[in-house]
Structure 1
């Protein structure tokens, strides 16, 4: 059964309250996909979204302690560092000190660099937990999400399905090694008048 996306922001926040886990962070991933499986339109995931998706995006961020994202997504989606939640960036190199990422007098991102190699994401999550970040929202990109999934570190996937066909060679929401075909448990499915589906899946 598909229920309607709550029109009231307080009800939406309640629907997307971020769970907690005992003794470790609870990792929730948020992605969007077209009907034909593309995670981007015109090179950006934001090109797929609508008003409802932007509301869900805001509710997920408001419920999280920290957003975890890869450097390529920071660049492609033109991320800035919000006052809340904290922003953690995974990179194989360095992060340019742009005004959006390092605003004068504002919060700065937490950067985890592999110095040319891959970053140990389990260690990243452990460090974020020691910093007091219990609720982690992973926003991609596909490589970071694939690595988190391969390591068994994702508790929940919030996937918006946009009612569009993109074609082309856009990336899927996950990139990386083959994953075990274990079934995920479907949670609530919401919809809106524009045809978007807002699904949740638990490991």
Structure 2
């Protein structure tokens, strides 16, 4: 029988130990897809106003920023970019360099990871802050069928527009494009449909899930939405608790 992970109080961990708990596997040719989500106890993926910010806590924000510091690229759907009003990734350059020196993530130059937006129709406003505040050029993962005018406008706005497929974006091709550019430590922040498509394709290596100590009811979506059911067994790597009741879990593919 596999031993369950010990429950750890977040306040007992220093920054280096916490980073070690979320370390990416050793460098290799294959990529590693980590998904990060927050939900309520009763499974709501969003809070008031249909955004995840209402579910956040200091502990969730601490891990959120650490995961970005560790990642090579932040993968997100265009709908989530609009709903959450995404900006360019703001990371700690000192910590990025230190994580890289440890071989567990980060970047040797301390530069932030790019935001990679998945949108088959290139439906991103060229003036959106996800482009205008980006220190590292935003990636637009789209198709050859996307309107040429949109693709040209995004390129002119400083985005790196990448055609992944003809009319639809295949999840396998999506990750191949990223790893082909050396972006192997992939952090997906949603939304539920993107998570569902990646999970359905058997590509999710890890889920970092924050459970907010809330019951909300309502009709909010789950963190994963797909047209077909799937069943991938996951193993708990660690369970962290914060004093306010927030629970932070890390699950890896069995």
TM-score (norm 1): 0.93
Root-mean-square deviation (Å): 1.8
Instruction: Tell me which of 72, 76, 85 is aligned to 2:113.
Output: 85
Aligned counterparts, 1:34-183, within 5 A = 34-42=40-48, 43-82=50-89, 84-94=112-122, 95-103=124-132, 106-114=135-143, 115=145, 117-183=167-233
Distance 1:66 1:160, change over 3 A: same
Q: Greater share of helix residues, 1 or 2?
A: 2
Q: How far 1:14 moved relative to its partner?
A: 2.0
SS of 1:132's equivalent in the other structure is: coil
Unaligned runs of at least 5 residues, structure 2 = 1-5, 90-110, 147-166
2:7 corresponds in structure 1 to: 2
Structure 1 runs, 4 residues or longer, greater than 3 Å off? 114-118
In 2, the alpha carbon distance for the partners of 1:71 and 1:105 equals 16
In 1, the alpha carbon distance for the partners of 2:134 and 2:23 equals 30
Q: Work out whether residues 67 and 86 of structure 1, in 8 Å CA contact, stay in contact via their aligned partners in 2.
A: yes
Q: How far 1:166 moved relative to its partner?
A: 1.2
In 2, the alpha carbon distance for the partners of 1:20 and 1:166 equals 40
Task: Give per-residue Cα distances to partners, 1:119-140, cap 9 Å, x unaligned.
Answer: 1121111111111111000111
Q: How far 1:159 moved relative to its partner?
A: 0.6
SS of 2:131's equivalent in the other structure is: coil
Distance 1:143 1:21, change over 3 A: farther
Q: Work out whether residues 24 and 126 of structure 1, in 8 Å CA contact, stay in contact via their aligned partners in 2.
A: no
SS of 1:140's equivalent in the other structure is: coil
SS of 1:101's equivalent in the other structure is: helix
1:13 aligns with 2:42: no
Distance 1:170 1:104, change over 3 A: closer
Unaligned runs of at least 5 residues, structure 1 = none
1:29 corresponds in structure 2 to: 35
TM-score (norm 2): 0.75
In 2, the alpha carbon distance for the partners of 1:44 and 1:104 equals 21
Q: How far 1:185 moved relative to its partner?
A: 1.0
Q: How far 1:178 moved relative to its partner?
A: 3.2
